[in-house]
Amino acid sequence: MKIERATLREIPLRLKEFFQISSGGSQDRRILLLTLEGDGLQGWGECVASADPSYAYETTDTSWHILTDFILPSVVGTELHSPEAVLDPVWWIRGHGMAKAAVEMASWDMAARADGVSLSQKIGGVRDRVPVGVSVGIKDTDEELHDQVQGFIEDGYARVKIKVKPGRDIDMLSGLCERFPDTVFMADANSAYTLEDVDILKALDPLDLLMIEQPLRYDDFLHHARLQEQIETPVCLDESIKTEWDTELALKLKSCQVINIKPGRVGGLSTSCRIHDMMADAGLAVWCGGMLESGVGRAHNVALASLPNFTLPGDISASRRYWDRDIVSPEFTVADGHMAVPTGPGIGVEIDTDFIESISTRVATFGV
């Protein structure tokens, strides 16, 4: 199968509400969508970069640059022997995993469609529905937070992740655990603490949180290991894990007990599967994170989360948690703490191309 053509589009999508994390926040997402075409087939991918570099160094604009100036001109016109190999022509590009992932994931979708199987089947998924949770941004008041959490509990999410930062941590989380004693909570600090804050993080032990995600620096492994020695709550790494080599290092150093795999962060589904396997071999669980994706990215995430070792609920929420109108149909929904894995060919959802074209702010096309 040859990759005859690639189309990259930027679309603005407005979140229903501002999403605040310790390092930044956003409401107006600028999402890049990639379509690969060849042999009468299409494959879709989404780039998870944010508009600003507050989560990772990549942004919507760096991704556009790397994709249009380097990756797409080299990949279009090549033979797609396997989805893993699609990026071989640009093996020399360092980093930029989010830009690369858009291409890699679109090629998996295309390859699954070529075989007439769902993406989940193509990558070895074993579940027809996956446990899902929700990620709640930082709120100024406990009242606001409790109201929102109450709503998500009513929606049936299997666990609730709370964004934390210094000053919005111990008291806020204690209040939540007291008010909602039957709910499984976890926290995500997006690197807001240092090892000097160990007493704050230790004080969370009695709350029995499912885990604490990325408490320390985005690029740190050693201090996370030192921290894990001193606290009971399992440490989960997000930002720190960009490759399988990062995973090897984290396992060797015992920097974490859990990894949040985001295919869009680690360069795609092939690396995601390898990290999944490495963690399974180490006897450690993984879960699928989210980057406030549109329905295209969400469809990839749900397929990934159907692999055997994704035993913990993912940050894979219903379309209506994010958007007034998603770009796929049917929209993703949650029932009984689970989301159904699409069964149609490839990512298995219908993509609303008319809507996408009508809102695109820029388009770049490569190939005939």
User: Of 160, 317, 328, 347, which lies in the binding site for ligand OSB, with binding defined by CB under 6 A?
Assistant: 317
Minimum distance, C-beta of residue 207 to ligand OSB, in the bound complex (Å): 19
Alpha-carbon gap, residue 313 to 81, rounded angstroms: 33
Q: Which of 197, 188, 201, 248 is nearest to 221 (CA)?
A: 248
CB of 361 to Mg ion, least distance (A): 27
CA–CA gap between residue 69 and residue 153 (Å, rounded)? 45
Count of residues that bind ligand OSB according to CB under 6 A: 12
Among 46, 169, 220, 238, binds Mg ion (CB under 5 A): 238
* Minimal distance, residue 188 CB to ligand OSB, in Å: 5
Catalytic residue status for 163: yes
Binding-site partner at residue 297 among Mg ion, ligand OSB, none, CB < 5 to 8 Å by type: none
Residue identified by tokens 């249009």 is: 68
366 interacts with, out of ligand OSB, Mg ion, none, CB within 5 to 8 A per kind? none
- Given 163, 165, 252, 254, which residue is catalytic? 163
Interacting partner of 55 out of ligand OSB, Mg ion, none (Cβ under 5 to 8 A depending on kind): ligand OSB
Find the binding residues for ligand OSB in span 147-186 (CB under 6 A).
Answer: none
Q: Which residue is nearest to ligand OSB (CB)?
A: 290
109, interface contact from Mg ion, ligand OSB, none, CB < 5-8 Å by kind: none
φ, ψ at 99 (rounded to 5°): -65, -45
Binding residues for Mg ion, rule: CB under 5 A, are 188, 213, 238
Residues annotated catalytic, as ranges: 163, 262
